[in-house]
Amino acid sequence: MWDFSTDPDYQAKLDWVARFVQEEIEPIDVLYPGTADPYDRESKVFLDVVRPLQDQVREQGLWAAHLPPSLGGMGMGQVRLGLLNEILGRSQWAPMVFGTQAPDSGNAEILAHYGTAEQRAEYLEPLLDGRIVSTYAMTEPQGGADPGGFTCRAVRDGDGWVINGEKWFASNYPHAAFVIAMVITDPDVPVHRGSSMFIVPRGTPGMEMVRGTGLSGEPVGEGVHGYLRFTDCRVPAENLLGEPGTGFTIAQTRLGGGRLHHAMRTIGQCRRAMEMMTERIASRTTRGEPLSRQQTVRHALADSWIQIEQFRLQVLHAAWQVDQSVETGDPDHKRAARLHISAVKAATPRLLVDVIYRAVHLHGALGVSNELPLMRMWQGGPVLGVADGPTEAHKDVVARLLLKDAVPAEDPLFGSEHIPTRLAAAREKLAGTLGEAAGAR
């Protein structure tokens, strides 16, 4: 049955979240806009302001909602998570307050699925409690996000593994208690069978930060993203996650849901930008007339609303596909989910760039200034274009999956929709019924 409504009980939760984010969390965004601020567990704002807010989220049963109840979450499906993340996307601090911030949410999923009892006790429990944050180290300077180009290696040595190589853009490393690193353990087989995941605790000898890397506009040499180097970095064998050679599979566990969450949070940002755009249009005049009298201005607003709504339905449909695949375990459903996730990932940056650019443009010089959040929001578009795999890679996934079931035409020259060929076939089919009339057409 087709149904676009939300369960009333859950809608009441979402209404509470919307009020809570606007009234309690968005003021923190204004006071502490730094990209590293939410991850500093020793800051006064975290200890005195954020922790009490997290307690309220727990009381509502919304803490770490992406995880199963056995791990302190709600066990939500992706559709419900999407509706929640749409609201959280309005605020930089909101994911942290709700225990769903990246990369910790994805790392928690990895530990929940593949961690041993000892690993979950040492790393997952404090992560879920919000006492620590973590880092996910996958991309490399020379290989980018392409695992086929990775050179960071781990070699078995006695009762441990020795890691050598570099990792790039390891988010939140300056504040992280541990790193989950994807490295090559067997270079003689394809990467999807030759990579592994390791937990590397903070302070492990041989793991160093070459420098911090920030986003454009932040001072050079500073930033929340670490350029890491491993030099004869030894970790015990029990720090391996899963089995050797399963790193690629483990990576996919964390990335699929994360891409949907990024997409819904993008919708939240775009809605906020559209609200600013609507307010601007309703407030300003030009050449003695309200800005709303300008057809081009109205079209910019209409285009933004249409684009957001189209994308929102695409994301929710993708989330539904994921829920179906989990429920049935059917390989066809899993392939459909992968198709829809990649399509969403490819479309996400364009939505953010388009909508926020219109909002910036309609605000004129104020829009490009540092007195509005729009330019900082707009910068998220290019960032999302490379995060969790570049847009082009996901377009290629979509095309390959679509072509997998493609059937070549019987007539490769003119194809199956060639009108003269179809006309002849139709005449033959209907000749016995319509007689001469069919042949005359």
Omega of the bond leading into 382 within 30 degrees of 0 (cis)? no
pLDDT for residue 219: 81
State yes or no: pLDDT of 99 exceeds 70. Answer: yes
Say whether domain 248-404 belongs to CATH 3.60.20.10. no
Q: Comparing C-alpha atoms, which of 171, 145, 153 is closest to residue 224? A: 171
pLDDT for residue 370: 92
Summarize pLDDT for 229-278 with one digit per residue, the tens.
Answer: 999 999 999 999 999 999 998 988 777 777 888 999 999 999 999 999 99
> Which has more confidence, 311 or 66?
311
Q: Comparing C-alpha atoms, which of 378, 377, 357, 361 is closest to residue 29? A: 377
* d(C-alpha 352, C-alpha 314), whole Å: 15
Q: How confident is the model at residue 72 (pLDDT cuts 50, 70, 90)?
A: low
DSSP 47: I
State yes or no: pLDDT of 142 exceeds 90. Answer: no
State yes or no: pLDDT of 223 exceeds 80. Answer: no
Average pLDDT in the 121-128 region? 92
Fold category of 134-241 in CATH: Butyryl-CoA Dehydrogenase, subunit A; domain 2 (2.40.110)
> Which has more confidence, 160 or 435?
160
Q: How confident is the model at residue 433 (pLDDT cuts 50, 70, 90)?
A: confident
Report DSSP letters for 274-337, one per residue: HHHHHHHHHH-EETTEEGGG-HHHHHHHHHHHHHHHHHHHHHHHHHHHHHHHHHH--HHHHHHH
- Alpha-helical regions (H) of 363-373: 364-368
What is the average pLDDT score of the chain? Answer: 91
Average pLDDT in the 386-400 region? 90
State yes or no: pLDDT of 436 exceeds 70. Answer: no
DSSP 178: E
Domain ranges of the chain: 8-115, 134-241, 248-404
In total, the chain counts a number of residues equal to 441
Q: Comparing C-alpha atoms, which of 206, 273, 271 is closest to residue 235? A: 206
pLDDT for residue 431: 85
Strands 240-241 and 195-201: antiparallel
User: Domain spanning 8-115 has what CATH number?
Assistant: 1.10.540.10
In angstroms, the Cα distances linking 48 to 55, 270, 436 are 12, 30, 89
Give 110's contacts (C-beta < 8 A, 6+ positions apart).
Answer: 180, 197, 241, 250, 253, 254
pLDDT for residue 434: 77
pLDDT for residue 440: 60
Summarize pLDDT for 264-307 with one digit per residue, the tens.
Answer: 999 999 999 999 999 999 999 988 999 999 999 999 999 999 99
